[in-house]
Amino acid sequence: MLSQLLVFDLTPGEANVGTFPLDVGPFESLGIIEMVDGNQRLAIGQNGVLKELTVTATTVSGINDLSLPETAPTTTNILGAFWQSGYFGNDAPAAMKFFRYGRVVADQQPVQVKRRLIKDDIRKIEIMEFEQMRPDGKISTNRKARRLSYELRFVDADYPQNILELVDISIPVSEK
């Protein structure tokens, strides 16, 4: 029964930590397992169970130091939450429509709204800038297009926010 591995660091330069023994407890087998995605993992067999040997950022000389607290890296940037709807107007994609306004019913703070309008060519999407939603939830568009999609950007505060309803009012103008 084996209980130690001899680890050789092959990193070139000053980052090389040399050769050191690694005590992993008694094990029966040692091997490399190839995962479905092609990545290879170093594993040992202990008491009939395969266990992966991993090296994390908190390792010291190849041994994981559990006395160091595991904290997530902090960032000063804010990653805003958003949601994009499907396209309104797909029920009659050949018809040009005059998109009057939309209405959003949210349970918390108001959201910002961006609209994407598709006229004739899907490669030329007209993107309207973000606008703050009015207190009554109405979003005026007043543009002609064949399809319209909404992107809702939520406030940066860390609390849940639900969109209860999103409707769009349009008037058919012409067929192609």
**Residue 22 falls inside a structural domain:** yes
Q: What is the CA radius of gyration of the chain?
A: 29
Whether residues 89 and 148 share a domain: the answer is yes
Phi/psi zone of residue 169: left (φ > 0), alpha (ψ -120 to 50 degrees), beta? beta
- Phi and psi at 123, nearest 5°, equal -85, -10
Are the C-beta atoms of residues 100 and 148 closer than 8 Å to each other? no
**Residue 74 falls inside a structural domain:** no
Q: Cα angle at 144 between 102 and 170, to 5 degrees?
A: 40
Domain range for 151 is 82-175
Q: Could you report the average pLDDT of every consecutive run of 10 residues in the chain (176 residues)? A: 70 74 75 78 78 60 49 65 89 89 83 89 84 88 92 83 89 82
Q: Cα angle at 97 between 123 and 105, to 5 degrees?
A: 95
Task: Give pLDDT, residue 34.
Answer: 80
Whether residues 89 and 170 share a domain: the answer is yes
